[in-house]
Amino acid sequence: MWVKLLSRTTLSYLRYQYTMYINRLVLWIFFFLSTQSTFGQNLPSLLTEKNINATFSILAYDEGAQEWGIAVATDNIYVGNSTIYIEPEVGAFSVIAETEPRYGMDGLLKLKAGKSIEQTISECQEIDNEVNYRQVSGIDAEGNVYAFTGKSLKYWKGYAGEYMGNNYVVMGNQLEENVLSEMAEVYEKSEGTLAERLLKSLIAGQHAGGQITGKRSAAIVVKGSKNEWFNQIDLRVDNSDEPFKELQTLMNYHYGRIRLNQALYAHRIGNVGRAEKKLSEAESMLDGWTGMYSKIASVHIAMKNEDSAIGWIKRGLKENPNWKVNLPAFYLLRDHPEMKALIKPDSFSGTDWESALSVLSNHGRELEVITLAEGLILEDIESSYLHYLLGKSYFYEKEEDKAVDHLEIALKMDGENIEAEKLLDKIRSN
């Protein structure tokens, strides 16, 4: 009996061991086949439990603009999250492959301490037990560069390496053969701002074949010692089938908004030719951003191009159903044949009237603001902000007594109307 029981127990154990062996064998075969095909580049990841992803980048310094920038792309999500480290007047680091943030964070501290870019990166390498998996480029405050590619990267599928040029570095891993040479050539020959040149280089790399594993995210960051916050660039596409296309769109929006402001400024100082040129550039760059269509229309109105303004208004309505909330702001176009069916003052709310008055004032039509606002008050349509707008128009028309009257009413209705308070203080201080 004990022999039979032992035999059954032994048989069950052997069956269990055989099943485990088969499972391991199937798993190994799966991994082996995978590494010979689309997952080949991830063999180091499987063996070392690392999340290695193909990446390529360009890091550069523009001496004239005093700007430092990095553009990077990968087949993983949110590449801009851990690969870019920049501090104006100190330097910048691009950290890819098996990312280690210390190269960027400690690197900037070492540069501040007066160490060279090569010494800085070398010291970080000395205390890195997995330096063979890294790929790092760096640039200092004067444009000196240094870079390295970890020795293990040569075992991944595709090309891995770096090229150090004058004030720039291109590098990457798991790439088609000509990616880095194309990136370098395009960067050297391109014109424009540093951000525009970096993006041209990154896109050239993609056109040359990019990563053999595909694409998923891209980012570009440019910071300058002379730049205001609104001129610092931090654009990211974190998860997309077309990250390069979307990054270019974001870049267009950034510069398109600037062009629009330049157009309005040129118009105000009487430079008609420049105003028209900048407006045309802005229209092309801002195409698709419906939130800017009202601003484009306003610039056209300022330049006496009402038909063009209406064209952008109609585009806004067509592309975004919610865009209709902007219509009251274009009350000043109410008599245009194409706008009569769209502008319906009888249905305006108090906030709608405030929008209408604001835009009239923005275009210097203060007498219309005064006539319209006084009429609304007679109809018991009033608010703190409406009285502020009326007071401001009286101020611009140099009727300060009436301005003060309405600004005081505005503050009585809303003691937190800071705009009314500031204007009233300005009048009383004169």
Q: Which CATH code for domain 348-430?
A: 1.25.40.10
Domain 48-241 has CATH 3.40.50.2020: no
Q: How confident is the model at residue 2 (pLDDT cuts 50, 70, 90)?
A: very low
Residues whose CB is less than 8 angstroms from the CB of residue 265 and which lie 6 or more positions away in sequence, other chains included? none
| pTM for the predicted model, two decimal places | 0.84
pLDDT per position as a tens digit, 181-206? 999 999 999 999 999 999 999 999 99
- Coil/strand/helix, residue 107: helix
> CB burial class (10 A; 0-12, 13-18, 19+) of residue 74?
buried
Query: Average pLDDT of 116-136?
Result: 97
Residue 57 near residue 71 (C-beta atoms within 8 A): yes
pLDDT at res. 31 = 38
Q: How confident is the model at residue 231 (pLDDT cuts 50, 70, 90)?
A: confident
Q: How confident is the model at residue 23 (pLDDT cuts 50, 70, 90)?
A: low
Q: How confident is the model at residue 229 (pLDDT cuts 50, 70, 90)?
A: confident
pLDDT at res. 15 = 57
pLDDT at res. 12 = 55
- Coil/strand/helix, residue 165: strand
Average predicted confidence (pLDDT) for the chain: 90
Query: Average pLDDT of 274-288?
Result: 98
Strands laid side by side in the 159-165 sheet: 159-165, 168-175, 55-62, 67-74, 217-224, 233-237
pLDDT per position as a tens digit, 36-89? 332 222 333 444 455 545 799 999 999 999 999 999 999 989 999 889 999 999
pLDDT per position as a tens digit, 145-157? 999 999 999 999 9
pLDDT per position as a tens digit, 394-408? 999 999 999 999 999
Q: Which of 21-25, 102-106, 237-241 has the lowest mean pLDDT?
A: 21-25
Residues whose CB is less than 8 angstroms from the CB of residue 53 and which lie 6 or more positions away in sequence, other chains included? 74, 75, 76, 213
pLDDT at res. 1 = 44
Residues in the chain: 430
**In the chain, where are the structural domains located?**
2-37, 48-241, 348-430
